[in-house]
Amino acid sequence: MNISPTLQAKLQNSERMLGVLIDNLNGMVYCCLYDAEWTLVFVAGRCKELTGYEAGALLLNRDVSLGTLTHPADRGRVRQVIDEAVLARTPFVAEYRMVNAAGDICWVSERGCPIYNNRGDIEAIEGFLQNITPRKLSEVVARNAEERYRSIFENAVEGIYQTSPDGHYLNFNPALANIYGYESVQDLMLSISDIDHQLYVQPGTRDEFVELMSTHGRVLNFEAQVFRKDGAIIWISENAREVRDQNGTLMFYEGTVEDITARKRHEQEIEYQATHDALTGLPNRTLLSDRLQQYLGIADRYGNKVAVAFIDLDQFKMINDSMGHHAGDELLKIMAVRLTQCVRESDTVVRLGGDEFVLLLTGLNRIEDISDSMQRVLSAVAAPCAIEGRDFVVSCSIGISIYPDDGRDTTTLLRYADSAMYKSKQSGRNNYQFYTDELNQRLTERLDMEHRLRQALKDEEFLLHYQPKLDFASGNICGAEALIRWLPPGGHMISPASFIPIAEENGFIEDIGRWVLRTACRQAVELNSHLTRKLPIAVNVSPRQFRQAGLVTMVRTALEESGLDPGCLELEITESSLVHDTGNFIKTLYELKALGVKLAIDDFGTGYSSMAYLKDFPVDRLKIDQVFVSRLETEPNNIAILKAIVALGHSFGMKVIAEGVETAYQHAFLHGIGCNELQGFYFSKPILMSDFQTLLSTHREASLAEPQLSS
């Protein structure tokens, strides 16, 4: 084979070329003896850079050899690698620390191979040493980082996991095992092979998870119920994402799990409290319309009816007031249980508040079924209940509306049931009434009146009439009662009997009452300015007005504004005002009395007050209710009642006045039993102030020589 002269020249140059190559290598070429020190016999390349020694200083130097350059801690390991390679007659690779001339440590990678003599005995090692400190450092950094992440993973409080798309665990941390109640990571790994069926409580939860993943690539606050190892159910919240490879193929899901059972329980408790009555545990008003709405939907689907029954306990207030709230609460709890027992599981019993309950009865086909249920309710409620060692019997009044017959929405049904309940109260309590069109008619009129009533005060449609009172002894007019009249423009005069109860219910009485009081005070001042004696004017105070917080202030202000002598104002308080809260009733009476005004108990004998209280009332007059007077001729019992009331009033030092006196017989009888005053059509109807002034001047005023204050 001929080698060209050019190539030959090049080959001759090869030694030089090798030198250049070695010089440019990033490391040091060496040859050392296979002795105890690894004494160097040849070095080339970047010797100084790596070891800190000139090449010459190292050759055949037993004190500074490859052995002494190797870090003492790594020496044994490296020797073992080399010895094995020598035995196996193979090249070797070792990575270890080297200590340079300055005492600094660097990492080197050594690739070497044993060299044998002709006899095959090991003679030397030759190889290449390269500085790998930068790589080693970055490995350390990476390892540290990895350790840190592993520590976060291992010690996290949240569960962290990777799961395969087909639903088994690839990797997870101890917290996850702990949340799911497993003793260890291995325990969980071995126990759960199918997340979908073994973990989630609701079937299909994993499908939902996967579905969300494929649409959004992640799930956020994915809440689900899962089984713990012991079978207990807990709530968890997951945040997770898809992990895909470079080709976009889904590899796994990874995410975190938080145990939110405590939070869920708290939320449920709050929700329960917001939707249930604390005393009875029944659903409350908030839940009522939701449930009713649901029932209406079901009734539409199955073509049957829903009944809404409004229930009001008839004697609750009395028991609550006389026996105290504790007894009242007991009664309500007993009633809640009884009502619940009267209906089916699918029906709902709601406590609206106070002594009002609502039953929602579902799946009804015949009205008769409702009647049966209502009969059951009436008798269940009426069974005696033992409270604090005493037996009480209460009854209830029920009003019923029916879907779809009476109304199509929850508000209408409830309103109609409520008004039917009022009808039931009016028809003697302890019964049930269905909603009817006639009731609807009344309801509409009532709503209309409420609306017009609001406007009436602004439009000045009210006026006062005064009904004179006559003193039996002197035969003189001894005062007058202010009675409100409503005269809508172009309409007929409306009687207070038809609008005062409505104003009472919707609270409008407070505004009307203020107007009456101010107007009456003003007109009383005007009246008295023309008289030689002071004539008191009586103003009616309805029960709601009486309970209103600012009543005393309102009266004081009306007196101050008008300048009326307080002794010339009498307040007529109906007996029923005291039924609710006797303690406050008496307190308010005393506060009013302290203003200097006179007080009268109106419609006496019709309320339910206990006579025993009467002695505690700082009251000037009893006004006998007109029912006793009007039925005097027809009901002989009334003779005894009237005599008793007069005697009772006098025994407490009160004056007694009879209302609604219409006949000469009544007049004579009342005079005869010592009644002090009378008021009624027999003497005068309620009249305008101007007519009252005329009456005063024409009535036997001549006989009044001495000015006197009537009281």
Helix (H, G, I), strand (E, B) or coil at 485: strand
- CB burial readout 531-570, b (16+ within 10 A) else e: eeebbbbbbbbbbbbbebeebbebbbebbeebebbbebbb
- CB of 496 or CB of 605, closer to ligand C2E: 496
> Parallel, antiparallel, or unpaired: how do β-strands 655-658 and 621-624 relate?
parallel
Instruction: Give the nearer residue to ligand C2E in terms of CB position, either 355 or 603.
Output: 603
Minimum distance, C-beta of residue 358 to ligand C2E, in the bound complex (Å) = 31
State the binding partner of 479 from Mg ion, ligand C2E, none, CB within 5 to 8 A by kind: none
Nearer to Mg ion, 399 or 496 (CB): 496
Q: Contact at 8 Å (CB) between 665 and 633? A: yes
- Interacting partner of 483 out of Mg ion, ligand C2E, none (Cβ under 5 to 8 A depending on kind): ligand C2E
Single-letter amino acid, residue 654: M
Choice between 399 and 686, CB closer to Mg ion: 686
Nearer to Mg ion, 416 or 604 (CB): 604
| Omega within 30 of 0 (cis) for the link into 404 | yes
* Interaction of residue 659 with ligand C2E, rule CB under 6 A: yes
Select from 32-40, 191-199, 312-320, 674-682 the region that touches ligand C2E (CB under 6 A).
674-682
Three-state SS for 25?
A: coil
Residues 6+ apart with CB under 8 A from 608: 318, 575, 576, 579
Residue 83 touches which member of ligand C2E, Mg ion, none, C-beta under 5-8 Å by kind? none
| Gap between the Cα atoms of 170 and 164, Å rounded | 6
428 to each of 414, 421, 432, 608, how far by Cα in Å? 22, 11, 10, 16
C-alpha 566/C-alpha 550 separation (Å) is 18
As measured in angstroms, the least distance from the Cβ of 563 to Mg ion is 24
Q: Which of 377, 660, 669, 692 binds ligand C2E (CB under 6 A)?
A: 660
Residues 513, 545: contact at Cβ < 8 Å? yes
> Smallest distance, Å, CB 574 to ligand C2E?
7
Strands (E), 513-578: 537-541, 569-574
Site for ligand C2E in 584-613 (CB under 6 A): 602-603
Query: What is the smallest separation between the CB atom of 603 and ligand C2E, expressed in angstroms?
Result: 5
In angstroms, give the least distance from the CB of 662 to ligand C2E: 4
Q: Which window, 207-215, 249-257, 494-502, 562-570, contacts ligand C2E (CB under 6 A)?
A: 494-502
Task: Find which of Mg ion, ligand C2E, none residue 662 binds, CB within 5 to 8 Å per kind.
Answer: ligand C2E
Which among 538, 684, 544, 543 is positioned nearest to 621, based on CA atoms? 538
The interface region with ligand C2E, picked from 185-193, 296-304, 640-648, 673-681 by CB under 6 A, is: 673-681
495 binds ligand C2E (CB under 6 A): yes
Strand pairing class (305-313; 356-364)? antiparallel
User: CB of 431: closest distance to ligand C2E in angstroms?
Assistant: 28
Rounded CA-CA distance 260/268 in Å is: 12
Selection from ligand C2E, Mg ion, none that 484 binds (CB < 5 to 8 A by kind) is ligand C2E
Question: How near is the Cβ of 538 to Mg ion at its closest, in Å?
Answer: 7
- Quote the least distance from Cβ 298 to ligand C2E, whole Å: 47
Query: Which residues are near Mg ion by CB under 5 A?
Result: 540, 572, 602-603, 659
List the one residue out of 582, 483, 594 whose CA is nearest residue 540: 483
Contact residues for ligand C2E, defined by CB under 6 A: 467, 483-484, 495-497, 500, 513, 516, 540, 542, 572, 602-603, 626, 659-662, 679-681, 686
